[in-house]
Amino acid sequence: MGNKVKISLAEAAERVGLDVAELLGYIAAGLLPAEESGDDWLIDPDDLEVIR
């Protein structure tokens, strides 16, 4: 169990070439694991493989 660095929703969207709303759809559908942090979402970059 390490302290792996997670990225913001905006950075994740930029990395996969989608907009934030599309990524929110993946999160809402349970396809992209994310944790809510204040008014943002944090995503493990490795989990982006689901949508690449």
pLDDT tens column, 16-41: 999 999 999 999 999 999 999 999 99
Question: 3 is written with which tokens?
Answer: 């302290």
Sorted by sequence, the CB contacts under 8 Å of residue 26 that are 6+ apart come out as 32, 50, 51
pTM equals 0.87
Q: Which residue is associated with the tokens 């982006």? A: 48
Judge whether residue 1 has pLDDT over 60.
Answer: no
Sorted by sequence, the CB contacts under 8 Å of residue 24 that are 6+ apart come out as 9, 41
Query: What does the alpha-carbon distance between residue 31 and residue 23 come to, in Å, rounded to a whole number?
Result: 10
